[in-house]
Amino acid sequence: MPIYEYRCGKCEHVSSVFVRSAHAEVKARCEHCGSTRMKRLMSRVARTKTDQDVLDELGVPGAGGRPEDAYKDPRQIGRWVEKRFEDYGMDVPEETRQMIDAARDGELPDPIKDL
Ligand SMILES: [Zn+2]
């Protein structure tokens, strides 16, 4: 459970507030004077989230397996194409299949060659 620290805008004392979840709205109240003029301080509590959690929350596409990284691994080339065909319950067309296989062998399609 995260703990946030708030500094009272009235008496300057710091209060710790337990928060049910990171997304919950917090109604902080000064432990010393009861004021609700509380200003949140940067938490000194150890991070409870991993980078992956944060990326997931931000909705970063392909977090944990970024597309640009996929191309550094030849085995990943064409994976999304295969996946797309799988999703539609179709077989990968022979022509596409060969292109993917060739790319995985290091023969990346090079349109300049055809000019
Ligand atoms: Zn106060």
The pLDDT tens digits for 71-109 are 566 667 778 778 888 888 888 889 888 888 887 787 766
What value does the mean pLDDT take over residues 32-42?
A: 90
Give the separation between CA 81 and CA 29, rounded to whole angstroms.
55
Between the CA of 2 and the centroid of ligand 1 the distance, in Å, is 21
pLDDT of residue 13: 94
pLDDT recorded at residue 63: 44
Distance (angstroms) between ligand 1 centre and the Cα of 27 equals 14
Domain with CATH 2.20.28 in the chain: 3-48
**Cα(5) to centroid(ligand 1), Å:** 13
40 C-alpha to ligand 1 centroid (Å): 13
28: exposed, middle or buried (C-beta count within 10 Å: 0-12, 13-18, 19+)? buried
Quote the ligand 1 centre to 32 CA distance (angstroms): 5
Q: What is the pLDDT of residues 54-70, one digit of tens each?
A: 556 655 554 454 555 54
Give me the CATH topology for the region 3-48: Rubrerythrin, domain 2 (2.20.28)
Q: At 98, list the tokens.
A: 């060969």
Whole-model pTM?
A: 0.35
